[in-house]
Amino acid sequence: MERSMVRRYIKLYFLLAGAYVRSRLQYRLSFGLMCFGIVISEICLLGLLGALLAKFRTVNGWTWAEVVFLYGLGNLAYSFMRILGSQLDDFDRYIIRGELDGVLIKPVPPLFYILANRVELIHVSRALTSVAIFVVAFHLSGIRWTLDVALFTLTTILSGTLIMFTLMLISATVALWTTKSGKLTDLLISATKEATAFPISIYPLAVRLLLTFVLPVAFVTYYPAQQLLQKGEFLGMPELFQFGAPVVALVMLCVSYLFWCSGLRRYHSTGS
């Protein structure tokens, strides 16, 4: 029974997502230009990063290849999160326009419907660019590709995606109390994305603690990189943190979903 339910939801997800994708592809030139713009912006950011590191050589003991490795790893998680959670960008629209009322009476979980209702493929171009950057940085960092490394890397990317998604979900859920949360979501996601691109050792202690225990994006890139790059730089934290991304992702998933459910229970229609 449970397996058939899972298959049903998977099929429904692709039906809803596919319908939105087909509607977007009606404007192929616009779609192509947006994808091209994202690729160019990623290349420009990488060029800026390269220029900075060319001037300073290293960032607190991290080489250019190692910093690009962090950038690629974090950008992969960010890209997949954007593909998964496109609708959360402007979730407050559901409340302001009264659209959430219609979602709540549908015969599927509200969060499932919201996530499946719009899947932005333009972020696939960002993901593909990030894969290319990550593969090159992986090679330049001298990491040996083994089955263990491959499994650890895939687990890290999946966990990082979930961690960033849960932060986005939490910030979007705030709108269930305040009506608007778009600017908070944009600020939080932009800040955490930038934080994953550099080693947290460059930040003051208070910021390192924030990025480890409150907004745990250090588990998206920094701590897993200790295992992959064999840096051994734990800043006084337990060495087990290098394996902690899946646990943190699971905890954050539970916390964010409970917060979402709490928000729905307190939701009152705006009457729009």
Enumerate the domain spans of the chain.
2-265
Residue 226: predicted pLDDT: 93
Q: Tell me the three state secondary structure of residue 62.
A: strand
Cβ partners under 8 Å of residue 234, min gap 6: 223, 226, 241, 242
Q: Residue 24: pLDDT band by 50, 70, 90 thresholds?
A: low
Give the chain's end-to-end CA distance (angstroms, integer): 39
pLDDT band, residue 1 (cuts 50/70/90): very low
- H-assigned helices in 174-221: 175-178, 182-196, 205-209
Per-residue pLDDT tens over the stretch 57-88:
777 888 888 888 898 899 899 989 988 888 88
Residue 53 has pLDDT above 70, yes or no: no
Per-residue pLDDT of 109-163, as tens digits, reads 899 888 888 777 777 778 888 888 888 888 888 888 899 999 999 999 999 999 9
Predicted confidence (pLDDT) per residue in 173-219, tens digit: 998 898 887 788 888 888 888 888 889 999 999 999 999 999 999 99
CA dist 157 to 70, 146, 163, 241, 247, Å? 11, 16, 10, 15, 13
pTM exceeds 0.95: no
| Of the candidates 46, 40, 35, the residue with the CA atom closest to the CA atom of residue 125 | 35
pLDDT band for position 31 (50/70/90)? low
